[in-house]
Every structure is written in structure tokens, then in C-alpha cells.
Amino acid sequence: MAFGMSGGADTIEVICSKDSAVKCDMDTYGKYLESLDESLLEMPEDAAPTRFVLKKTLPFGVVQRIKNQQLGYKDGEVQVQMGFTLEEVRCALVDVKGAGAGLEFKKEADGYASKTLIEKLESYGIVQELFTARQGAIKARGEISKKS
């Protein structure tokens, strides 16, 4: 069997647990983040949740910068630095569909999501959910390619 890279969508759409259209426990929401299967979420039929659109693949220079942010040295010891998740989500986020007031998608001069938007998302605990969903989608894409 040969390794292959399947097509599939280049983006994912994620609904956050804080969305008023979503009613489910965190266990179920965790399963949703792994699969992005919206049938796991309890939502009224007429629900219109906000969807965060993220790219699965980032440009080489961005990936290199993010990887360099993951580790640091303090007192001669290697330490994991979690701030890279903010930058990864900022660079992967390409749209916010159905956003309510105060959650407007804008870009910085570098072409990536505004830092102000990421600050707001982080203050509500949404950045980690988006990061987790993106990592799950990347992992699933690799598993699908192996099976093909």
C-alpha cells in the first residue's frame, strides 16, 4: 500500500460550546470536537449557530514560526509554551459565519485574523476549542489517507 494524500475539504467549520444554539454536556462536546459531527450537538431544528471556518493547511513560513514558538528554554530546561495555539488559530481562521454583535471577522495587515478577534475568542475560552477541532481534523485526514 502506498501513502497518499486525499483531497477533501481544505477548511473545517466549528461550532463552539458557548453558542446559545448548542445544548450539550462537555463530554458530548468533546466527541464533537474530535469528529465535527454536528448530529452529536443538541440544537433546535431552526438553530443558526455561529460557525468558525478554519484552514487545515497553513503556509510553510507560518508553520515554521508556530513550531518555533512551541518550545522555550528557562533555567537551562526545555519548556512547552502554549501561546502558539493563539497564533495557529489566528492564522487558520478565515471566516466567522453567522456571528452576532461584537464578533466581526477582520484581517490584520499580514492577511490573518485580527488579534482583537483572537483576544475576544480567548477571553471566552473559544481558542482552545478551535485549536482542538483543527488538530482533530488534521489527524483524521491523515488516518483517511492511510486507509485509502
pLDDT given for residue 32 in this prediction? 95
89: containing domain: 16-143
8 located within any domain: no
Residue 6 lies in a domain: no
Q: Whole-prediction pTM value?
A: 0.85
Specify if 106 maps to a domain. Answer: yes
* pLDDT per position as a tens digit, 96-134: 999 877 889 999 999 999 999 999 999 999 999 999 999
pLDDT confidence bin for 58, thresholds 50/70/90:
very high
Highest mean pLDDT among 17-21, 79-83, 136-140, 143-147: 17-21
Q: Does residue 48 fall inside a structural domain? A: yes
Residues 6+ apart with CB under 8 A from 134: 12, 14, 54, 56, 88, 89, 92
**Quick check: helix, strand or coil at residue 80?**
strand
- What percentage of the chain reaches a pLDDT higher than 70? 89
Count of structural domains within the chain? 1
List all residues 6 or more positions away from 147 whose beta carbon is below 8 Å from its beta carbon: none
